[in-house]
C-alpha cells in the first residue's frame, strides 16, 4: 500500500510492508473507502479473493479467510478464456463483485460477496451467476447504481446487465461492436450518460448510450495499430493507455485528442497494462 502526498505526488510512499495476497497470480484490486478495505482478485492455480484492512501507518492487514474460485488453471494462467478478469465494489459498497471469463464451454460468471450490514464484514460465501449470453466477460463498470452494470465481452463487444437485490446478475442488452477485435475495457461517464468501450487491438473507441446500449459514435484515433490497454475518466477528459507506448488525453465533449503523452522515457514498458487517475474526485 502507498500513500500520496498532495504536495509531492510524484513520490508515493510505501505504508507498512508488502503482503501475501494468498494466491499466486494477483490480477485486480478493489477498494472501499466506506469499509477502509482493499480486496485482491487472484488468478492462476490458486485463484480467489483476499481482503485487507487499510491502516494509515501499518498498511495492509489481512481480514477474513481466502475466498477460493475454482478455475482449474495453471500459474501463470493460460487464457484469456477461463481466467479471472475484474473486481469492483458496487456504488453503495454493500457488495464485492468479481468477473470470471467463460472457458469456451461454460459461460462467464459473476461472483458476488455481500457485505454484512451488522459488522461490515465481507461474506466468504459466494453468490454465483452465469448469464448464458455472456462469454468472455472482461472489464466491468457500474452505471451509477447498484443494479446496472456494463461488461466488456470480446466475444461480441459488450453487454448491459442487471444486478438484483440478492446479487443475481442477468444479461439484458448485447452490444455488438462492428470491426472489433477484443473489447476488453469499459469506462462510465455519469455526467454525459456515456459508456466508453476500449479494444486491445483496435485504436478507435466506441461510445455507447449507457441507458439504452445503443452505439452513439466512434472516437477516431490517428494512431492506427495502437489498441487500448486501459482507460480512466478524469473530469471532462478520458485518459487512455495506448499499447504501453503513450497515454492519449481525449476531451469527452467532442472526442478530440488534446494530448499524446509519450512514455518511452520511462524505459521498458512491457508490463504496462493498467492505469488509474488520482485527484479528480468523483466522476
For 102-128, the pLDDT digits (tens) are 998 899 999 999 999 999 999 999 999
Q: State how far the Cα of 124 lies from the Cα of 112, in Å rounded to an integer.
A: 10
Domain annotation covers residue 221: no
Q: Is residue 102 part of a domain?
A: yes
**Cell numbers representing residue 31 in the block:** 477498494
Residue 248 belongs to some domain of the structure: no
Whether the Cβ atoms of residue 149 and residue 139 lie closer than 8 Å to each other: no
- Residue 61's domain comprises 1-88+96-137
Q: Is the residue at 220 inside a domain?
A: no
Do the domain assignments include residue 77?
yes
Q: Looking at the chain, how many residues does it have?
A: 283
Contact yes or no for 170/130 (Cβ under 8 A):
no
Does residue 24 form part of some domain?
yes
Whole-prediction pTM: 0.92
Considering the chain, what percentage of its residues have pLDDT values greater than 90?
80
In a domain, 273, yes or no: no
User: CA angle 109-75-43, nearest 5°?
Assistant: 30
Interval 202-261: pLDDT, tens:
889 999 999 999 999 999 887 766 888 889 999 899 999 987 788 999 999 989 999 999
Q: How far is it, in rounded angstroms, from Cα 101 to Cα 86?
A: 10
- Give domain status of residue 126, yes or no: yes
How many domains in the chain? 1
User: Where is pLDDT greater, at 266 or 195?
Assistant: 195
Q: Residue 127 in contact with residue 114, Cβ under 8 Å? A: yes
Mean pLDDT of the chain: 93
- Which band of pLDDT confidence, cut at 50, 70 and 90, is reported for residue 281? low
Amino acid at each position: 500500500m502507498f500513500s500520496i502526498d498532495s504536495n509531492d505526488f510524484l513520490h508515493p510512499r510505501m505504508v507498512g510492508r508488502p503482503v501475501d495476497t494468498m494466491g499466486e497470480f494477483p490480477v485486480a484490486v478493489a477498494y472501499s473507502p466506506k469499509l477502509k478495505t482493499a480486496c485482491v482478485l487472484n488468478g492462476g492455480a490458486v485463484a480467489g479473493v483476499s481482503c485487507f484492512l487499510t491502516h494509515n501507518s501499518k498498511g495492509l492487514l489481512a481480514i477474513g479467510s481466502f475466498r477460493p474460485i475454482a478455475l482449474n488453471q495453471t500459474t501463470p494462467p493460460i487464457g484469456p478464456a477461463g481466467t479471472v478478469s475484474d473486481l469492483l465494489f458496487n456504488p453503495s459498497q454493500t457488495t464485492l463483485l468479481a468477473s470470471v471469463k467463460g472457458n469456451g464451454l461454460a459461460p462467464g460468471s459473476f461472483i458476488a460477496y455481500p457485505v454484512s450490514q451488522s459488522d461490515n464484514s465481507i461474506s466468504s460465501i459466494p453468490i454465483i451467476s452465469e448469464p448464458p449470453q455472456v462469454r468472455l466477460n472482461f472489464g466491468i463498470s457500474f452505471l451509477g447504481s447498484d443494479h446496472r452494470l456494463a461488461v466488456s465481452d470480446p466475444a461480441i463487444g459488450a453487454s448491459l446487465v442487471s444486478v438484483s437485490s440478492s446479487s443475481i446478475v442477468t444479461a439484458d442488452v448485447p452490444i455488438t461492436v462492428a470491426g472489433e477485435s477484443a473489447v476488453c475495457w469499459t469506462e462510465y461517464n455519469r455526467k454525459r450518460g456515456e459508456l466508453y468501450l476500449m479494444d486491445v487491438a483496435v485504436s478507435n473507441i466506441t461510445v455507447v448510450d449507457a441507458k439504452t446500449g445503443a452505439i452513439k459514435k466512434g472516437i477516431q484515433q490517428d494512431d492506427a495499430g495502437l489498441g487500448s490497454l486501459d482507460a480512466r475518466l478524469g473530469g471532462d477528459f478520458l485518459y487512455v493507455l495506448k499499447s504501453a507506448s503513450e497515454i492519449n488525453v481525449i476531451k469527452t465533449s467532442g472526442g478530440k485528442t488534446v494530448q499524446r503523452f509519450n512514455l518511452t522515457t520511462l524505459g521498458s514498458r512491457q508490463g504496462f497494462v493498467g492505469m488509474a487517475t488520482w485527484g479528480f474526485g468523483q466522476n
